[in-house]
Amino acid sequence: MRGLLERVTTHVTTTLHIINNTNLQMKSRYTNPNEARDVNQPCHNRVTNALTLLEVIVVIAAIAILAFFFIYSSARQRINTSVVAPRISCINILKQISLSMRQWAIDHDDRWPWHVSATNGGAMEFAALGSPAPLFRPMSNELSSPKILVCPADTRTPATNFDILTSKHVSYFLSMDAVPEIPNAIVAGDRNLQIAGKPVKPGLFELTTNVSASWTHDLHNQCGNILFADGHVEALSNNVSQFIQRQGLATNRLAVP
């Protein structure tokens, strides 16, 4: 956009330069020393330094064009910021969730809470319920605050503490079948996942390799973020299916909030 403004400014400058040269030529025509001067000549033939009506119109039009592009550029920048900033924050949140999972796994034989029984501090018994909320709860110390479980682009309200945490306070699904040993396995991601154009309903959902997956408009303007077992996060648009096919799992059960 900056380059466009520079080009418009260049064109305006060139136009004004041409007008100025034309004006000088007109002045020289009326100030030719070889021509007799009549002090009583009409006023409209006298040389003046005032802008003509055409010049005024050109200047006003040029200013209007520059103002339009400036306002358009500013508005577009605000729109991009409102879309991009929450998505970047969401990526950082998923990375923090990944770090919390790794910290928790260090003390639990390299397993995540939904792979460890409740008697050993995990939440394996809650995995079949399809709600990610009780699966996050064992990591309360590592996560520090339940606010981290809500995407900045989501309208959901964070829970005030982990004791009252429900799926309504969570923006991210969790995988029940992904393990640290499979780096490309999908572990978590934005809840606005859809299959064959239909939003995935809350609960336990079986994600197979032959599905056509994409995102709804609910978050990130029909885009989404996915966390993988190796800890990296991908910002995806409509190319979700290829990552599902490459994850190395025939079926991946997702607990969707």
Q: Compute the distance between CA of residue 196 and CA of residue 244 in angstroms, rounded to an integer.
A: 14
Contact between 212 and 196 under an 8 Å Cβ cutoff? The reply is yes
Task: Please give the average per-residue pLDDT across 201-213, as a whole number.
Answer: 93
- Give the tens place of pLDDT for each residue, 140-191: 999 999 999 999 999 999 999 999 999 999 999 999 999 999 999 999 999 9
d(CA 67, CA 64): 5
Per-residue pLDDT at 249: 87
* Lowest-pLDDT range of 20-24, 69-73, 208-212: 20-24
Q: Is 60 exceeded by the pLDDT of residue 82?
A: no
Q: Measuring CA to CA, how many Å separate 58 from each of 5, 33, 66, 85, 200?
A: 17, 32, 12, 40, 57
Q: Whole-angstrom Cα distance, residue 86 to residue 23? A: 55
Q: Residue 7: its pLDDT value, please?
A: 57
Domain residue ranges of the chain, discontinuous segments joined by +: 84-256
Q: What percent of the chain has pLDDT over 70?
A: 75
C-alpha radius of gyration, the chain, whole number: 32
Model confidence, pTM: 0.70
DSSP 82-120: HHHHHHHHHHHHHHHHHHHHHHHHHTTTT--GGGS-GGG
- The pLDDT of residue 71 is 73
